[in-house]
Structure formats: C-alpha cells, structure tokens
Amino acid sequence: MQSLWDDQEAAQYEGDLAQRVYTSRLLGRDPALVLHGGGNTSVKTVETNLLGEQEEILWIKGSGWDLATIEKAGFAPVRMKPVLKLAELPELSDTQMATHLKNAMTDASAPAPSVETILHAILPFKFVDHTHADAIISITNTPGGRERVQEVYGDSVVIIPYIMPGFKLARLCAEIYRAEATDKTRGLVLMNHGLFTFGDTAKVAYERMIDLVTQAEEYLTRHGAWQIELPPAAPVEKALRHELAELRREVSGAAGFPMVLQTHQDPMSLAFARHAEAARIARQGPATPDHVLRTKRLPLVGRDVAAYRAEYEEYFRQHAAHSPQKLVMVDPAPRVILDPALGMVTAGRTAKDAAVVEDIYRHTMEIILRAEELDRWQALPAQDIFDVEYWDLEQAKLRRQPKPSVFTGEIALVTGAASGIGKACAEAMLARGAAVVGLDINPAIRDCFRRPDYLGLVCDLTQPQAIDDALEAAARRFGGLDMVVLNAGIFPSSRPISELTLAEWRKAMDINLDANVVLLTAVHPLLRAAPQGGRVVIIGSKNVPAPGPGAAAYSASKAALTQLGRVAALEWGKDNIRVNIVHPNAVFDTGIWTEEVLASRAKHYGMSVQEYKTNNVLRTEVASRDVGELVAELCGPVFAKTTGAQIPIDGGNDRVI
C-alpha cells in the first residue's frame, strides 16, 4: 500500500482540524481501507470558549459523513473533560453514552459524534485513525488470527479481542492499552474489526496506518494469500430478465416493499458464486460486524427466497429471546444473492443502496478468499453479529426512519426520454424516488441524468432486437420494471390525405404504433412481476378526440395506439397492471417547436406567439413538465384504482370538451 501524502498538497491545509480533514480524505480514497462511511478519525485541540476559558476538544468524525469527502463540518466537537469522566464509569449503556456525548458537544448543529468517541478520547495521542483494512481482516478472521497478528507485528501493536463498538469496547481498550502498550506501540488491532493508529501529527498517524497495513499485505503475499487467482467463469449466454424480475418480486415480498436488484457477472462475482464451497464460505457472516447493517448477516446462495426468509426469522427469534427489550425485526430479505447463472445480485431499497452493497461484498469476497488461502475463513459467531444488527442505537434509527418517496424501490421505463415530454416524465419519476431507464434514438440519452438510479440507452424502437437488448440491460441494472411510459413518436409534416404517400403513412404507423405493440408485448412479463402491480401510461394526443386537417397519419397512429391501450387495460387487469392514456396538446417546449415554427404558426392564425401558446379555454401554457407530473401521478397511489382512462392535458380544448 502506497502513502498518498503529498507535502505540497498538505501545506494547503493549515491548522490541526484542516490537517485532520486532509489525511481523513487520504484514507477515504482507498476502498481497501474504508468503505461507505466506515472508519473513523479524530484530532484533539485546545479551544477558547465564549467565556474566555480554554478547554480541550476532541474533533471526531460525525455520523453520516464519508472519509473520502469529509469537510471540517463533518467533525463533531466534543469536550474532552466530560468524555474522560464517562470513561471512568463502571457501566454505561450505549443509549446513555450517545445522549451524554451529544450533551458534551460545543456545537449543537454539528453531526452526532461517533460511538467510538470515548475510545478516541482515551488514547493519549493528538491524531487517531481507524480503518477496516481488508488485509487486516483477512488475517484476523481465521482460526489462528491472533497468533498470526502477533507474528506480523510483534510488540508494535496491542491486540484487542473482539467486542462490539461502544462503551464496553472503549473500557476494554483502555485497560489492555494501559497494561500492554510500550514505547514501541504504533497501533491497536481489534480482532474481526480493524486497525487503530495514532501520532502527534496527522502525517505520523496516517503513515503508520499505511505502514502497518502494508506489513499485513506483505505477510499475505509471503503466504500466497494476497493475489487471488480465479478460475475461468464465462457468463451464461441467455436472456435473464424474466428470471430476474421474478426474483425481484420474491425479494421485495420478503422485504415488504419494492427493492432494486443489480446483477454482476464479472469474473470475480461468477467465480465466487460458482465456488465449490460457496455455501460454507459465504454463509458464515460478514467481514466485519459493521457490514451487517448493509449486507445482512448472510447472503442467499441460490434463489430460494422463502427458505432464506424463514431462516432469518428463526435467527431473529432465537437471539431476540435473550434480549431484555422488545426488538423490532428488520426486513428478512437478502441483500446479496449468489447464483451460478446470475453471479452476484445485490439488493437495496434504492439503486444507490444496491451499489453500496456491491462495493462492500466485493471486498468481502476478496477477504474471504484470502483468508481461505491463508488458513480458513472464520467469521464471528451469530450472536455477536446479531448484537450489532439489533444494537439499541440501530433500533432507535429503525424506529425514526423517514418515510420513503412514493416510488422508492420501483423502476420506470420511459421512451423518447432524451428531450421534451419524455425527459420531463423521467424527471418526475426520479423526483419521486424511482430508478429510471430512458430509451431514445438520440445518443444524448446516455447523459441526460448523471446519477446511479438512471440508465440511458440508445434504442431504435422499430427494431425488435434493440428492444430485447434494452429490456435485458434494464433488468440486469435494476431488476425489472414497474412502470412504462410510451412517449416516443414522430409528428410527420402536415400533408392532406390526397398528397399523403404510403411511405409517410407507414413510417408514422411503424414508429407511433407498431414499435409500441412490440414493446408492450415484451414488457408484459416484467410488469406482471412488479411487486406493487405494473403501470403503463401512453402519451396520446388531442388529435385522437379532435383531429386536425393535414395530420392523417399522425392522428390515425395515435388513435390506434389509444385503442391498443384500452384493449391492454381490459386484458391486463387480471395481472394487476393498470393502463391509462394522456392526451396533451400544444406543448411548445419540445424540439419540434422552434421560435421560427412558433412564429409561423401564430401568424397563420393571426395571433401573437403568446396568444397562440395560450389558445385554450384556460388561457394557460402547457409545458412538458406539466405532462410529466400528470404521468407520474397516474402511476401513483391517487390513481391506484383507475385503468383505461383517457385524460386531456391541453388547457381545455373546445373541440375536445
């Protein structure tokens, strides 16, 4: 492991807290040290309070902050004096500890201090760093882990037996450190947990961390357990979307809410899922107890979600029986699924959550395989893992979880999503918590939204194979579909029927109608598997109830599409799929309505541009966003008992009314 310290870069961070920010970010840059909010850092300073008194302050990473991006505001300032008094108590519950730590803060608006605050406070060094280094965990999580740690480090570290984070760990570390630390001590190894280093400067604490982790990596290398050799593992060459949609439905059923599933078929994921002893090595427990809150105690090996759920519920009953308080069971759905055909599938309430699970379990797989090469993988006993999963502080978080957005965990497919109404529909879905798959023939679709819950795919909807490929990609990225918005279409040049060519007619039908027939046929199995029922919204047109001259091909294609939607509503109701249609008119913030075109059309009718844009009963403009909001609402709970409806969004048209 290489030190990332740079003297010129470090010089830009003036002061102790700024230096603390700098080396915290250095640690956070390396996922082999910390992942997604893991790890902890602190610095002790002397500050002058409002009364002019000097007091020692411990600045420790606050709850919810990630070391890779932390700023000064991410550190909680805690008075050292009351914290050290807490450390002298014979007993203290973690709930009481959290309350007293908040009371000891000098800034009530700062984030809540870490549960490891007391441990950082009692270590007699200015800077303290804590990571969950992969190399360290690979060594500690073996039957002879303690002896191996001693072999690696000798008397340069103090070894702490595993105990869950909180007050008891701080007390134990204080006792062992005072008894065993010498002038050679450069760190603490917490078995099955991680590594602490410290120093009088940020650089010393950081580079001690790098040096000690490097020693662990070199030890693993000497024992042939650092570089992981994987057997060839080719992906299964078949469509998986229907299987993934069914699996997602079962996982969501176990969770009690919709879940996003992401499929990973890289060589590591496939090789681990196909490992001859996958059940033994994967079903012991997480790499560190901290990970159980993200990945659950065990992955699901295979696809029997019902059996996994029953096993988890039994695990909860057995261990909750020994708890002095009534515990609220977290959902019994897997977060990691290992399957020979699928590889690794990660589940989360959102796409971001599923991606975090992926990152964590990738490191878990490497740690397990290294431990196996070194000796044998050995996770903590189930009771220790349960104690973290059902920790008082975690139970409190569970009880005050905010209500999720209306489409959290659901997936929407929007066609023609690169601009105009389609893009507005995608925005409305994303704003309500859905993951969105956008399809468009325009390559700009790929970059319409840069976020983990969006997948933009270039797709020519007139090509059935392109539709198949897009749906396969959508299922592998998010697990299935819940909502489909049929928006893509064309508006041919105005032409009277007497001058209409067959080619123009066929092109309008091909894009506006036939492509949607193929797409609806293809998405039906995915919508049927939607955990909360499938929904389809078709973007029709005012021209369906009130056609205009010169738009025969467009009007007929949209009328046929509307009729298709009505039949689908009749046929798909038994599958709990709702199908509704909206009929927009005069939506002028789309690509076809340039300033020149608007001016020309307004002049044709003897109006100003503004009069033309508001030429409706309500004298209002209709924007793409208005249509997008209506489409999203049609997919939501307000219209849960509506199907086959046709809703105008045109400001009121006298011919329609």
Q: Which residues participate in catalysis according to the annotation?
A: 554
In three state form, how does the secondary structure of 502-531 look? HHHHHHHHHHHHHHHHHHHHHHHHHHHCCC
d(Cα 552, Cα 558) in Å, to the nearest integer? 10
Residue pair 93/121 in contact by the 8 Å Cβ criterion = no
- CA distances 180 to 156, 157, 174, 184, Å, are 10, 9, 10, 11
d(Cα 318, Cα 313) in Å, to the nearest integer? 9
Residue pair 530/481 in contact by the 8 Å Cβ criterion = yes
- Classify residue 421 as exposed, middle or buried by CB count within 10 Å of its CB (0-12, 13-18, 19+): buried
Query: Which residues 6+ apart lie within 8 Å of 68 measured at CB?
Result: 25, 28, 29, 34
- CA distances 120 to 332, 365, 608, Å, are 35, 30, 71
How many Cβ atoms are within 10 Å of 604's Cβ, its own excluded?
Answer: 9
Question: Which residue carries 């399809």 as its tokens?
Answer: 439
Q: Is 281 helix (H, G, I), strand (E, B) or coil?
A: helix
Q: Radius of gyration (Cα) for the chain, nearest Å?
A: 30
Query: Which residues 6+ apart lie within 8 Å of 319 measured at CB?
Result: 382, 383, 386, 390
d(Cα 204, Cα 513) in Å, to the nearest integer? 68
Give the DSSP letter of residue 311.
Answer: H
d(Cα 43, Cα 342) in Å, to the nearest integer? 46
Residue pair 575/523 in contact by the 8 Å Cβ criterion = no
d(Cα 33, Cα 55) in Å, to the nearest integer? 33
d(Cα 135, Cα 27) in Å, to the nearest integer? 15
- CA distances 129 to 12, 120, 196, Å, are 21, 9, 6
Residue pair 201/126 in contact by the 8 Å Cβ criterion = yes
d(Cα 2, Cα 576) in Å, to the nearest integer? 56
